Amino acid sequence: MPIQIYNTLTRKKETFEPLDPERVTLYACGPTVYNYAHIGNARPAVIFDLLYRVLSRRFPKVIYARNITDVDDKINQTAADEGVPIDVISRRYAAAYHEDMAALGVGRPTVEPRATEHIPHIIAMIERLIERDCAYEAEGHVLFNVEQFSDYGSLSRRNRRELIAGARVEVAPYKRHPGDFVLWKPSTAEQPGWDSPWGRGRPGWHIECSAMSAAHLGEVIDIHAGGQDLVFPHHENEIAQSRCAHQTDTFARYWMHNGFVTVEKRKMSKSLGNTLIVHELLKQWPGEVLRYVLLSAHYRQPLDWSEKSLHQAQATLDRLYGQLDGIDLEATDPDDEVIAALEDDLNTPTALARINTLARELAHSEQPGLAAELAARLKASAGCLGLLQRDPADWLASRQVEAEIDETEIDELIAERNAARRSRDFARADQIRDELAEQGILLEDGPEGTQWKVAAR
RNA sequence: GGCUAGGUGGCAGAGUGGUUAUGCAGCGGCCUGCAAAGCCGUGUACCUCGGUUCGACUCCGGGCCUAGCCUCCA
């Protein structure tokens, strides 16, 4: 079965056939680096990183571009507030983004273009749009002329009239059509800016992705991805710009959009003040737990974030790591069904279900040889999702280090309890167990002696 | 108002025109001095009303409800 992808353009699941199987092109809209990423920002990073891995299994060369928006009014504002140049802000938060995403098991894309490094590309593209009468200059701005692009609205399934009717924002007087959007805008002396044929200014938001996509991947690309909230206007505008500038029928052949992370069913967003910062979450939870939660729902569905889902993911991973612990693992191929699930429009819940079934088979297996084989397959399969790659002993041990408890005292109490048990003073033994339980310490009597661990949160 | 997506067992969350999702929690059992962990077993769910069909949770139509986009946003 070839790879299936749900295409926003057609609202259908389609077989993925790249333009050039020797060179598959994927572009995902990356972060605007003006503060720390929240878990909602992490979802597309995790999902499209997974897509990149899935594609890379099938095709010899996949070029994955994920941009960094490093000039933007919010960055400008933060920089102005701190009294520093914008690159101080953008570098700081780009570094934080890389660090946080790495903790979630997200790899680096093939290329990571930055807007400020593509100003000449952007200017050249705008010039071409003006030449082709797709854009016009007005009061120092350059605007895209949506009237010149008959397909405008085809991705988001809107027409220009609806856009006017639904407009919630006052239309700038210099716009010819209310739907026209800014390609280039003037900068004041204090604002960052670049010289251009239209004076000193800076690019609008949409144009950078079009310019960078063309520069690194080509005029027509295979897949363009991003969050659902980018469908309109961002991606709609990208299509208009790119197709007008390059005179093509197509910009991206497949469009993929991830659903939102919600909190109590409401979209996580900065304006609602319900964001959970990845950097903060990582202080409490292993990155892999966050990743598991993000993969537990299908990427196109909303994902309601909760403490409960974190506990559940932690419990599941603890069990899986526990099963791998102590088994010598050899590299092997992943399970076919896991691959099939992932290749079916990234069906991660089904893939995880299969992984859990493999884990049960492993638990059932009696012969050591078979167990080792199953364990290896389990690890390889989970690896396709970026899970279960840590050393099981380390994972399980790290659960204990999290608590700041006097280990010597615990060890002494355990010794005393074991002495009581030997003399069959079970009342005293149970008393010690209870005392430790109150401190959140669970005792486990096993063949290797008594182990302790921190109670589940 | 326009457009879009979705309503599945206690919770989370896939999927299918007639057969077990899976996870977490719960319950019963094995094990244990007692526990814990682990393992075994267990739960006849699919918003509503019509229609199509031998048969629909699954297809079609109406309704109700929820979320999202239409403004920066992953």
pLDDT single digits (tens) A50-61: 999 999 999 999
Q: ipTM of the predicted structure?
A: 0.94
Size (chain A), residues: 457
Which nucleotides of strand B are protein-proximal, with an atom < 7 A from a CB?
1-6, 11-15, 21-25, 32-40, 66-74
pLDDT confidence of residue A441: 82
Distance between CA atoms of residues A96 and A161, nearest Å: 42
- The arithmetic mean of pLDDT across residues A225-238, rounded, is 95
Asked if pLDDT for residue A402 goes beyond 70, the answer is no
Mean pLDDT, chain A, as a whole number? 91
> Of A256-270, A347-361, A391-405, A410-424, which gets the smallest average pLDDT?
A391-405
- CA A394 – C1' B57 distance (Å)? 44
pLDDT confidence of residue A67: 97
Q: How would you class A109 by CB atoms within 10 Å of its CB: exposed for 0-12, middle for 13-18, buried for 19 or more?
A: buried
Asked if pLDDT for residue A262 goes beyond 80, the answer is yes
> Of A68-72, A203-207, A352-356, A363-367, which gets the smallest average pLDDT?
A363-367
Question: In the complex, which nucleotide's C1' lies nearest to the CA atom of residue A40?
Answer: B74
What does the pLDDT look like over A119-174, one tens digit per residue?
A: 999 999 999 999 999 999 998 899 999 989 999 999 998 877 766 655 555 677 88
Asked if pLDDT for residue A106 goes beyond 60, the answer is yes
pLDDT confidence of residue A275: 94
- The arithmetic mean of pLDDT across residues A18-36, rounded, is 96
The answer to whether the pTM exceeds 0.90 is yes
Going by C-alpha positions, the residue among A54, A118, A66, A19 that lies closest to residue A227 is: A66
Asked if pLDDT for residue A208 goes beyond 70, the answer is yes
The residue ranking higher by pLDDT, A329 or A6, is A6
pLDDT confidence of residue A168: 55
Question: In the complex, which nucleotide's C1' lies nearest to the CA atom of residue A262?
Answer: B67
Q: Is A96 helix (H, G, I), strand (E, B) or coil?
A: helix
- CA A267 – C1' B72 distance (Å)? 15
Question: In the complex, which nucleotide's C1' lies nearest to the CA atom of residue A171?
Answer: B71
Are A118 and A208 in contact by the 8 Å Cβ rule? The answer is yes
